[in-house]
Structure 1
Amino acid sequence: MAADGGVDDGSSLETPSWAVRIRRADRSIAGAGILLSPDRVLTCAHVVEDPSARYTAEFVGAAPGRAVPAVTAWVDGDAYVPNTRDADGDPSGDVALLRLERPRPAGEATLLYRLSAPGRAVQMYGFPHDHNGGIWFRAGIVGGCGRDGQVQLSPRSPGEFASPGCSGSGVMDTATGKVIGMLLSGIGDRHGNLFSFMSPAETIVRHLPRAGRWTRGRTAVDDRLRSTREDAAEALLDEPFAQRLADWLQNDGRQVKISLVPADDAVRAATLRRAITLADRELRTAASVNRASLDPPGTVPSAGGHDLAVDAAGLTSARIGERIAERMGLWQHPADPVAERIRAADVTLTLVVVGVDEAADPPALLDLLGTLRAKGSRLLLVFRTAGATYHRARHDLVVAPERERRARLVERLEEITGPLARTLSRRTAAVRGDGVRPADTDLVRAHAALAALRRARDGDTGPHQDLARYERLADRVAARMTTAIGTLDRLRERRAELDGRLRGYHVLHLDSVRGEEEDLALDALRARAHELLQARPCDVRAAEAAVEAYTRRVDRGAPRGPDRGPDRGQEQEQEQGQGQRQGQGGASAS
């Protein structure tokens, strides 16, 4: 086994030696597994649905070009947590550990790694029915789901959906090459959407503590921030504070939350430790998952509410930054300053920092936190006193960014209600498009949002309660209006094409009928087409039909060359005439 857990990077697409294909006694493929040690394989409980049965573990990446090694395997004692549903109907568990009858070479195994999940690109090696020799498929991590700490994956393409035979596959982080979880299942809903789910390393270890032997990476919560037995006393719960923490940890729309927890406030400190512990996938207890109704309403955050919780007391910003970079998987270029590595990274995380003002260098730490905020990470920052560091954090990380956010939104709404609205108005006055809905209602809402934002006092210190809603409104309205303008622009282009075609055919007709008697019916067709094209708004479909009628009649009347056959329109008229004469003749005979 490699010292760091097997795979060195995510660039290789060779069959991984740790990928296991699991067969039932009837030789059908049950799913996949991960070789964690020479004699242990991690898989889903539903893959080995009968925990008392014997299965066959096949190591497809161990001997390329030769017979695939196969070893008998069975569930390792009580290391079996079935797939169940909690009180809310969310899935839970679905993990199992198998013991091999004969060990495999140690170098074939891998380790699980604790890494922050949000936004990571991952890849898996599974055994779907059409590719039972194994195939790579890719996905992106969307975010946590349910109460168990499971994570939703979004397939990179519909063909990379986790179909039967893939459950139990190792989920490998593409950037680092580390196995960070296990694929559970994939489902498709009635709308055609495809979803896959995984258990991260922390969730696996919570269900199967012995899997911790093969798990690397520091736990997400510093020791001093974990709940203690004394914290469980009912008197040590500030329920309103617990509800606010749970709301933020479940993403209430605020990117940064700043709280005061004085060192001598035992109740508030215990409430904070409780929230941090409950939001961690590994530390969360089964009671927290399955019996949330016994806790005060709204005080239990979902597992995975944060990715890292750091006690900053006495630590330098560099040490805290290294802790963050490690959790984000930023091991490349270790000689570079940690702030530069974080600034260059494409991943984000939800971070809790307790005792910001107790750090060895609070101003430098605030600079680092500003970098994380600018990259899109979410921050819960806890201070011991409302001193200079606290006030600077509120200004730099909350007030100023919110003012800038509000100003950008005002500018965008002004663009929507001004230039964009005028452009759409001009387009709708020029052409009429089927399916292009009026923008009146959207514009009324956009004007109302703009007026509310303008009324807001410039000195507001917190996020505007409707800011996120107004941003979603702006996104929706701008998208609809832009789509409508694009549709109407295409119709304007079509109208111009039709106008040019009508003019061209009129010239062709005049050249072909010099000195001949006027065709009043043809002139009427042209006049009708011209009228429709000049109307405002122009009904392009009706104009198109009128131009087509005119050009067809011009084509029928155009002179034929000596080497050209009869015009198709003339052939049709002749055929119709013959049919009428035959019909008349038949009537006479009868």
Structure 2
Amino acid sequence: MAADGGIHDGSSLETPSWAVRIRRADGQIAGAGILLSPDTVLTCAHVVGRGARVTAEFVGARSPAVPSVAAWVDGDAYVPNTRDADGDPSGDVALLRLERPRPVGESVLLYRLSAPNRAVRMYGFPYDHNGGIWFRATIVGGCGRDGQVQLSPTSPGERASPGCSGSGVVDTLTGKVIGMVLSGLEDRHGNLFSFMSPAETIVRHLPQVDQWTRGRTAVDDGLRSTGDDAAESLLDEPFAQRLADWLRDGRHQVKISLVPADDAVRSATLRRAITLADRELRTPASVDRASLDPPGTVPAAGGHDLAVDATGLTSTVIAERIAERMGLWQHPADPVGERIKAADVTLTLVVVGVDEAVDPPALLDLLETLRAKGNRLLLVFRTADAAYHRARYELVVKPERERRARLVERLEKITGPLARALYRRTAAVRAEDARPADADLMRAHAALADLTRPEGATGDGGPSPDLARYERLAERVADRMTRTIGTLDRLRDRRDELEGRLRSYHLLHQTSLRGNEEDLTVDALHLRAYELLRARPCDVRAAEAAVDAYTRRVDGRDPERQGRGGASAS
């Protein structure tokens, strides 16, 4: 076993030595497993019955035949797959004991890493691929209260299917095994989903797995709840609700809180929120049921990826802690700040005691780099000093003003040039299936008025506009208007084609008369088509039908064209 987890290169596509194929007594493939030690395999509880004997097959072993070893659940290391009061899944992990040990070099360690936006791959045994196959996904976010994580398959065929449960989830960037596949499903709308338990969630359910898990825990010791924090008198409920809301919904990128060191209630409330938001430290009461805690005070599992106590630490030490959690080990000679700046992964970071760091200004520079890269930050200060005010301005006020300005600029383009372009086209052609834009434009104008209203103009002291909601509105309206403009442009092009066709046929008809008597029916059809094409807005469908009626009549009267089969001039 490699000391860092059994894989050195995340790009390796060889069958991993730690990948286990599990068969039931009837010979059917039940799922997969991860060899954590010579005699221990991690898998999903639903893959094996609590008292059943199964066969573990080591498809990545360097031997002519695939070794197979009898296995069974190791004592009480079995947490069944259950559903909580909201129907969210929980548990589904188990350890198997092997009848005969495997070579130590075949095993692998789990690793704690931040989860969001990581590209991962798994090696499982779905139908038609009994020998095993790699499939890829991206981690998109947590689900439920158990600390499980949703995976988005890279392609529809890479959704976890029967035979993949229990597969190791390998982080593509570092090559570390960071979790285990639980299941995959397709909902009634045809959406494909896969799910995994990260290493921290597995360790919470099976504490003995900690001995085979590497990477520092996400929460520094001083930020964990203590037994004394459970006292009801030590809960600031409004503060707890604000913390849980920020950790849960992701609407705001940066939150800054003031928690004086001598404020026992707010300090305990903060530790409680940090602890409950951690997958590994989360209490069973907050996982298995909608707990008896005050409403809205329990944050989502995995609400943060790292919680650092900055007291007495340099910005470099904190940056290294962040880089380690992100898995940024590829270029150790590069300054840690540059590695963070170049990283594609992001995390939700809690830093407590920003103003108690060795060099708060340098730490604020690091935090600004993280904010600019899209990381979410919960920053706690002990005093409202110069660092606190700088942080509020540079990390909250200024970015929000810039974001608001960009949004206003976009809404002005939507309600200005884009709206004018749309109205020019709707004045030219009409389409029944073109989405009406009036309602969308009214919402865009209302949003623009809200965002450009002078601060304090309402005098009600209400909350500032929800920029994320208005950004989604702008995206939606711009997309609809652009698609409608595209539809109308195609109709306008078709109208121009029909005008050319009508002219050519009219000339052909006039030539074919050769002094003969005019056909009033043909003339009426021509006039009908001409008027429809000249009308504004033009009903292109009706005009097309009128042009077709005219050209068919002309083709029917022209003996030469009849002899050629009524060739179209379009």
Give the TM-score, by structure 2 length: 0.95
Letter in 2 for 1:52: G
1:229 aligns with 2:227: yes
2:518 pairs with 1:518: yes
Query: Shift of the alpha carbon at 1:225?
Result: 0.7
Q: Do 2:90 and 2:288's aligned partners in 1 also have CA atoms closer than 8 Å?
A: no
In the alignment, structure 1 residue 53 sits paired with structure 2 residue 52: yes
Structure 1 residue 292: deviation in Å?
4.3
Measured in 1, the distance between the counterparts of 2:289 and 2:191 equals 31
Query: 1:135 is matched with which residue?
Result: 133
1:402 and 1:463 in contact (8 A); partners too:
no
2:61 alignment partner AA: A
Among 247, 264, 270, the alignment partner of 1:272 is: 270
Query: In the aligned structure 2, how far is the partner of 1:252 from the partner of 1:344?
Result: 23
Residues 249-328 of structure 1: pairs in structure 2 closer than 5 A:
249-251=247-249, 253-328=251-326
Q: CA deviation at 1:228?
A: 1.2
For residue 462 of structure 1, report the CA deviation from its aligned partner.
Answer: 11
* CA spacing shift, 1:531–1:34, aligned 2, 3 Å: same
Q: Tell me, yes or no, if the aligned pair for 1:222 and 1:311 is still in contact at 8 Å.
A: yes
Kept in 1: contact 2:450–2:465 (CA 8 A):
no
CA contact (8 A) 2:451 2:465 kept: no
After TM superposition, list the pairs within 5 Å mapping 1:39-438 onto structure 2: 39-48=39-48, 50-63=49-62, 66-251=64-249, 253-438=251-436
Supply the distance in 2 between the matched residues of 1:83 and 1:24 (Cα, whole angstroms): 18
Q: Partner residue of 1:506?
A: 506
Q: How far apart are the structure 2 equivalents of 1:303 and 1:401?
A: 28
Contact 1:398 1:462 in 2 (8 A): no
CA deviations on 1:177-198 (whole Å, 9 max, x unpaired) are 1111111111211111111111
> What amino acid does structure 1 have at the position aligned with 2:138?
G
Deviations 1:270-290 (A, max 9, x none): 111111011100011212212
* Residue matched to 2:494: 494
Greater CA deviation, 8-17 or 222-231?
Answer: 8-17
Identity of counterpart residues, as a percentage?
81
For residue 555 of structure 1, report the CA deviation from its aligned partner. Answer: 3.7
Find the residue that maps to 2:261 and give its secondary structure: coil
Comparing 541-550 and 119-128, the one that deviates more: 541-550
Superposition RMSD in Å:
2.1
Cα distance, 1:22 vs structure 2? 0.8
Instruction: Return the alpha-carbon distance in structure 2 between the equivalents of residues 132 and 523 of structure 1.
Output: 74
Match of 1:57, SS? Answer: strand
Query: Structure 1, unaligned stretches of length 5 or more?
Result: 571-590
**TM-score calculated relative to the size of structure 1:** 0.92
Which structure's CA Rg is the greater one? 1
- Give the letter for the 1:337 counterpart: P
Q: 1:13 to 1:510 in 2, by over 3 A?
A: farther
What stretches of structure 2 of length at least 5 have no aligned partner? none
SS at 2:291 equivalent:
helix
Amino acid in the other structure paired with 2:32 = A
Partners of 2:546 and 2:69 in 1: CA distance: 76
Tell me the distance in 2 between the aligned counterparts of 1:13 and 1:463.
Answer: 52
8 Å CA contact 1:43–1:98 kept in 2: the answer is yes
Letter in 2 for 1:250: R
Partner of 1:577: none
User: 1:145, 1:151 within 8 Å by CA — same for their partners in 2?
Assistant: yes
How far apart, CA to CA, are the structure 2 residues paired with 1:469 and 1:399?
A: 18
Report the Cα offset of residue 522 of structure 1.
Answer: 2.9
Q: 1:523 to 1:289 in 2, by over 3 A?
A: same
385-394 or 549-558, larger mean C-alpha shift: 549-558
* Distance across 2 between alignment mates of 1:10 and 1:431: 56
Corresponding residue for 1:552?
Answer: 552
Alignment partners' CA distance in 2, 1:69 and 1:509: 86
Residue 463 of structure 1, CA deviation:
7.7
Paired residues of 2:285 and 2:291 also in contact (CA < 8 A): no
Question: In the comparison of the two structures, how many residue pairs are matched?
Answer: 565
8 A Cα contact 2:147 2:197, kept in partner = yes
Letter in 1 for 2:493: E
Q: Which residue matches 1:467?
A: 467
Report the secondary structure of 1:136's partner residue. strand
Q: Tell me, in whole angstroms, the C-alpha distance in 2 between the residues paired with 1:124 and 1:548.
A: 59
Q: State how 1:533-572 maps to structure 2 within 5 Å.
A: 533-558=533-558, 560=560, 566-568=563-565
Mapped to 2, the partners of 1:500 and 1:463 lie a distance apart of 58
Question: Which amino acid in the other structure matches residue 489 of structure 2?
Answer: D
Sort the Cα spacing of 1:19 and 1:510 in 2 relative to 1 into closer, same or farther, 3 A: farther
Partner amino acid for 2:66? Answer: V
Q: Kindly provide the amino acid, as one letter, of the partner of residue 426 in structure 2.
A: T
Deviations 1:447-467 (A, max 9, x none): 111111111419999982432
Distance 2:171 2:189 in 1: 29
